[in-house]
C-alpha cells in the first residue's frame, strides 16, 4: 500500500474510533438518564408496584392515580406530539433504518427530542409501551448529530447511527455483543469491517459506562441447572411455533388498532387520552398491564409466582392494551411488551405441559425464557440479537441453546406469515420494502428523474417534416419530442417514419404514441423493470400535468442502476 494511502487509512481508523467513543458515551449516558427519569416518574405517579405498595394505606388515592395518570398523561403526550413533532407521530427504529438505508436526512433533532419527551411521558404515565424503541432512536439521534461532521469517512452518518444504537442497546441490556449485532442486524443490514469496528467500540463503551462506572443492575437473574432431557428440544421448537403465532396476532392487533384510531371522530392529539382512560380502568382490575412491567417479567421466572388463569389473563390483557396504546398515539416501542408477553406465555406453556404430557421436564424457567425470546425476536426481526441477549444476561450455555431452538422455529414461521418484523411492515407502508433485499429497496428510493437529459430535440405540431428532419440531422438524433405551446407532450417523432413523408407536410399527425413514459415518481428500480422490450433512444419524462420535463436515455437508466449498486456493494464490503 502506498504511504499516502496508509496514512489515510490510519487517520480514518483514529477518526472512527474517536467517533465511536464519543457517540457511545453520549448514547449510553442518555439511555441511563432516560431510564432513571422513567423510574422516578413511575414512583411519583404511583405507577410502579413499589410506589403502589407504599401507598397501600391510601386506596382511594391509588385508585384515582390508576385512572387519571394514564388519561392525563395521554392528553399531554398527544399535545406534545401534535405541536412539537413535525411528523405528528412518535419517532422510532424504522426512522433510523430509513435514514441509514436511503441516506436521506433523518427527522430533525428538535422533533427527535420532542418524540423522546413524549415517550418518557408515555412510559412515566404507565402506558403499555416499551422503552427500548425510544432508546434505540435516542442513540440514533446522537449518531445523526455526529454524522453531520465533515470527517474523511465514507458513509459517516450510517456508521455513527449504528454506533449510537449499539451503545443504547448494550447499556439497556448490559449486553454489548447483542448491542453490536442488533445495530448490524436491524439498522445497518450489513457487516462491513469499516462499520463493524466502530460499532463494536461503541457497544463496549456503553457496557463500560453502564457496568463499570455506574453499576447498572441486570434486567433479570435466573438460576438454571440445564436441560435435563433431550426430548425437550422438540417442546422448545413447538413453543417457538406457538410464540410465532402469538407474535403475528400481536402485530396484527397493533396495525388494526392504528386503523381503528384513524377512523374514530376524535382528534389525533386526543386519542392517547381516550385509550389512557381505558388502560386505567383495566389496571384497576389487573395492575400488571401498567408500564413496561419489569417486576412482572422478573416474577415470571419464579416457580409458583403466577397461576395458569392469572398468566392467561395478563397475556390477553397486555396484548390488547399494548396494541391500543401504540395504535392510538402513545409513544414507545414494542420490544418491552413483546418480552413481557413472551415470558408470560412461555411460563404458561411451561405450567400446562406437565398436565398434557406425563413426562419429566426441566422446570418453568427455561420455557419462560424461550417464550420471551421467541416472541420478541419475531416482532423486531432480530433473532441473533435476542439469542445473544439470553447468553449475556444469564451466562447459561444450556439456556441459550434452548432459546436458540425456540427463536429459530419462531422466526421461520413468522417470516413466512408476516415478513421479517413489525419494523419492516411499517417501512413497507412508507413505500420502502426490504422484503426482497436491500438492492431493490434502495433502488426504489432513487428517482430516475435525477438522470434526465434536458437537451432533447423538441418539435411543434405546425413544423414541417423537412424542418424536423434538418434539426434531427444537425443534432445527430433519431427522435424528436412533439410538444404544444405549453410544452405538453403529444408523442414521439421517429426519423425513420419522417423519411417516407412529404417534406412540406406538418408533423402534427405523424407522432407515435409513447411505448414507455416515466414521471417524477418513477424509481430507478421501476424504470429497469419497464425497460425490457423498449425500442428507442430515450423515454419521455412527464410532469403530472403532461408537460415534458426532459428525456431519460436507456444508457442513463443502466448507468444509474450500476452506480447505485456499486455504491451499495462498496458500503457492504468496505475495510477500515
Q: Where are the domains of the chain?
A: 3-213, 232-271+278-436, 443-567
Q: Which residues contact 537 (CB under 8 A, 6 or more apart)?
A: 477, 478, 479, 551, 553, 554
Instruction: Report d(CA 48, CA 46) in Å as an integer.
Output: 6
How far is it, in rounded angstroms, from Cα 186 to Cα 140? 12
Over the chain, what is the mean pLDDT? 90
What is the fold, at CATH topology level, of the domain defined by 232-271+278-436? Clc chloride channel (1.10.3080)
> Is the Cβ–Cβ distance between 207 and 25 less than 8 Å?
no
Q: In the prediction, which pLDDT does 576 show? A: 54
Where b means 16+ CB within 10 Å and e means fewer, 444-462 reads bbbbbbebbeeebbbbebe
Model confidence at 3, pLDDT cuts 50, 70, 90, reads: low
Longest dimension (CA), the chain: 102
How far from 155 is each of 142, 206, 362, CA to CA, in Å?
A: 16, 22, 48
Residue 495 exposure: Cα atoms within 13 Å on the Cβ side: 14
- Does 443-567 match 3-213 at the fold level? no
CB-CB neighbours of 63 under 10 Å: 14
Residue 397: how many other CB atoms lie within 10 Å: 10
Element (H, E) at 74: helix 59-84
Q: Could you write out the three-class secondary structure of 116-182?
A: HHHHHHHHHCCCCCECHHHHHHHHHHHHHHHCCCCCCCCCHHHHHHHHHHHHHHHHHHCCHHHHHHH
Residue 150 vs residue 169, higher pLDDT: 169
Work out whether the CA dihedral 262, 266, 268, 273 comes out positive or negative: negative
Per-residue pLDDT at 234 exceeds 60: yes
Q: How far is CA 359 from CA 330, 352, 355, in A?
A: 45, 12, 9
pLDDT digits (tens, 9 = 90+) for 378-407: 999 999 999 999 998 888 899 999 999 999
Q: What's the rounded Cα separation, in Å, for the pair 413 and 420?
A: 10
Residue 1: which pLDDT band, with cuts at 50, 70 and 90?
very low
Q: What is the pLDDT of residues 243-284, one digit of tens each?
A: 999 999 999 999 999 999 999 999 999 999 999 999 999 999
For 15, counting Cβ atoms within 10 Å of its Cβ (0-12 exposed, 13-18 middle, 19+ buried), the class is middle
Paired residues of 553 in beta bridges: 538
Distance of CA 151 to the CA centre of its chain: 27
In CATH, the number for domain 443-567 is 3.10.580.10
Is the model's pLDDT at 574 over the cut of 90?
A: no
Q: Compute the half-sphere exposure of residue 173: CA atoms within 13 Å on the CB side of its CA.
A: 30
What are the percentages of helix, strand and coil residues in the chain, rounded to 5?
65, 5, 30
Q: What is the pLDDT averaged over residues 87-93?
A: 93
What is the spatial distance between Cα 135 and Cα 152, in angstroms, rounded to a whole number?
28
153, 351 contact by CB (below 8 A): no
Neighbours of 436 (CB within 10 A): 10
Distance of alpha carbon 78 from alpha carbon 331, whole angstroms: 9
Residues in contact with 66: Cβ distance below 8 Å, sequence separation at least 6, in sequence order: 46, 126, 280, 283, 284, 287, 290
Report pLDDT for 382: 92
Give the pLDDT score at 5. 55
Q: How far apart are CA 221 and CA 395, in angstroms?
A: 10
**Cα first-last separation, the chain:** 13
Residue 575 has pLDDT above 70, yes or no: no
Q: How far apart are CA 34 and CA 410, in angstroms?
A: 31
Cβ atoms of 178 and 170 closer than 8 Å: yes
What percentage of the chain exceeds 70 in pLDDT? 97
Which is higher by pLDDT, 206 or 215? 206
Residue linked to cell 439521534:
141
* Cα gap 360→511, rounded to integer Å: 82
172-210 core/surface letters (b: 16 or more CB in 10 A; e: else): bbbbbbbbbbbbbbbbbebebebbbbbbbbbbbbbbbbb
Average pLDDT over residues 140-152: 89
CA–CA gap between residue 566 and residue 439 (Å, rounded): 10
- Mean pLDDT for the stretch of residues 323-331: 96
- The neighbour count for residue 484, using CB atoms within 10 Å, is 15
pLDDT value at position 294? Answer: 85
Q: Model confidence over 458-514: pLDDT tens digits? A: 999 999 999 999 989 888 888 999 999 999 999 999 888 898 888 889 988 888 888
Structure-block grid coordinates of residue 174: 448490559
Q: pLDDT tens digits for 353-363?
A: 998 988 889 88
Mean pLDDT to the nearest integer, 558-566: 89
- Strands 538-542 vs 518-519: parallel, antiparallel or unpaired: parallel
Bridge-based pairing of strands 458-459 and 479-483 is: parallel
**Considering Cα of 180, then 419, then 115, then 372, what sign does the dihedral take?**
negative
**The pLDDT of residue 195:** 85
Q: Specify the DSSP class assigned to residue 218.
A: P
Instruction: Tell me: pLDDT of 97 over 80.
Output: yes
What's the number of CA atoms in the CB half-sphere (13 Å) around residue 135? 32
Average pLDDT over residues 519-535: 89
CATH assignment of 3-213, among 1.10.287.110, 2.30.38.10, 3.40.50.620, 1.10.3080.10: 1.10.3080.10
Q: What is the spatial distance between Cα 567 and Cα 154, in angstroms, rounded to a whole number?
A: 10
pLDDT digits (tens, 9 = 90+) for 399-457: 999 999 999 999 999 999 998 899 999 999 988 888 777 888 888 888 999 999 888 89
CA distance 195 to 576: 8
Q: Which helix (H) or strand (E) holds 392?
A: helix 383-394
Q: Give the C-alpha separation, 86 to 292, whole Å.
A: 27
- C-alpha grid cell, residue 55: 401507598
Amino acid at each position: 500500500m502506498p504511504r499516502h494511502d496508509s496514512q489515510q487509512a490510519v487517520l480514518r481508523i483514529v477518526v472512527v474510533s474517536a467517533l465511536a467513543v464519543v457517540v457511545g458515551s453520549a448514547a449510553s449516558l442518555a439511555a441511563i438518564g432516560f431510564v432513571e427519569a422513567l423510574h422516578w416518574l413511575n414512583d411519583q405517579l404511583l405507577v410502579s408496584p413499589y410506589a403502589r405498595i407504599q401507598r397501600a394505606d391510601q386506596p382511594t388515592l391509588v385508585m384515582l392515580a390508576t385512572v387519571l395518570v394514564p388519561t392525563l398523561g395521554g392528553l399531554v403526550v398527544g399535545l406534545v406530539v401534535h405541536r412539537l413533532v413535525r411528523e405528528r407521530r412518535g419517532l422510532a427504529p424504522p426512522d433510523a433504518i430509513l435514514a441509514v438505508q436511503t441516506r436521506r436526512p433523518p427527522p430533525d433533532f428538535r422533533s427527535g427530542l420532542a418524540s423522546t419527551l413524549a415517550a418518557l411521558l408515555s412510559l412515566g404515565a404507565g402506558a403499555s409501551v416499551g422503552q427500548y424503541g425510544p432508546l434505540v432512536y435516542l442513540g440514533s439521534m446522537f449518531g445523526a448529530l455526529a454524522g453531520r461532521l465533515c470527517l474523511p469517512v465514507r458513509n459517516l452518518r450510517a456508521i455513527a447511527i449504528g454506533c449510537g444504537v449499539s451503545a443504547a442497546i448494550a447499556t439497556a441490556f448490559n449486553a454489548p455483543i447483542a448491542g453490536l449485532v442488533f445495530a448490524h442486524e436491524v439498522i445497518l443490514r450489513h457487516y462491513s469491517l469499516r462499520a463493524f469496528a466502530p460499532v463494536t467500540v461503541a457497544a463496549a463503551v456503553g457496557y463500560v459506562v453502564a457496568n463499570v462506572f455506574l453499576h447498572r443492575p441486570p434486567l433479570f437473574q435466573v438460576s438454571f441447572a440445564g436441560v435435563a432431557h433431550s426430548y425437550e428440544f422438540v417442546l422448545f421448537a413447538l413453543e417457538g411455533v406457538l410464540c410465532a403465532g402469538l407474535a403475528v396476532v400481536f402485530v396484527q392487533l397493533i396495525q388494526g388498532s392504528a386503523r381503528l384510531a384513524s377512523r374514530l371522530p376524535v382528534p389525533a392529539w386526543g386519542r392517547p387520552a381516550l385509550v389512557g382512560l381505558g388502560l386505567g380502568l383495566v389496571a384497576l382490575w389487573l395492575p400488571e398491564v401498567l408500564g413496561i412491567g419489569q417486576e412482572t417479567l422478573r416474577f415470571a421466572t419464579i416457580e409458583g409466582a403466577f397461576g395458569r388463569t392469572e398468566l392467561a389473563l395478563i397475556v390477553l390483557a397486555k396484548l390488547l392494551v399494548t396494541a391500543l396504546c401504540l395504535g392510538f398515539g402513545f409513544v414507545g416501542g414494542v420490544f418491552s411488551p413483546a418480552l413481557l408477553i413472551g415470558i408470560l406465555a412461555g411460563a404458561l406453556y411451561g405450567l400446562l405441559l406437565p398436565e398434557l404430557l406425563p413426562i419429566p421436564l426441566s422446570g418453568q424457567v427455561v420455557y419462560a425464557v424461550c417464550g420471551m425470546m421467541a416472541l420478541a425476536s419475531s416482532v423486531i426481526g432480530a433473532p441473533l440479537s435476542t439469542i445473544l441477549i439470553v447468553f449475556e444476561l444469564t451466562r447459561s450455555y444450556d439456556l441459550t441453546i434452548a432459546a436458540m431452538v425456540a427463536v429459530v422455529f419462531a422466526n421461520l414461521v413468522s417470516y413466512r406469515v408476516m415478513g421479517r418484523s413489525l419494523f419492516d411492515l411499517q417501512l413497507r407502508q412508507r413505500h420502502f420494502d426490504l422484503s426482497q433485499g436491500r438492492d431493490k429497496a434502495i433502488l426504489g428510493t432513487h428517482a430516475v428523474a435525477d438522470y434526465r437529459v434536458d437537451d432533447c430535440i423538441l418539435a411543434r405540431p405546425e413544423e414541417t417534416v423537412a424542418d424536423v428532419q434538418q434539426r434531427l440531422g444537425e443534432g445527430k438524433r433519431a427522435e424528436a419530442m412533439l410538444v404544444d405551446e405549453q410544452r405538453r407532450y403529444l408523442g414521439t417523432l421517429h426519423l425513420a417514419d419522417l423519411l417516407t413523408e412529404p417534406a412540406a407536410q406538418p408533423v402534427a399527425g405523424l407522432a407515435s404514441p409513447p411505448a414507455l413514459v416515466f414521471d417524477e415518481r418513477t424509481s430507478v428500480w421501476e424504470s429497469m423493470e419497464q425497460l425490457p422490450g423498449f425500442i428507442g433512444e430515450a423515454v419521455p419524462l412527464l410532469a403530472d400535468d403532461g408537460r415534458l420535463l426532459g428525456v431519460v436515455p436507456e444508457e442513463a437508466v443502466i448507468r444509474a442502476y450500476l452506480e447505485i449498486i456499486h455504491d451499495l456493494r462498496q458500503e457492504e464490503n468496505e475495510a477500515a
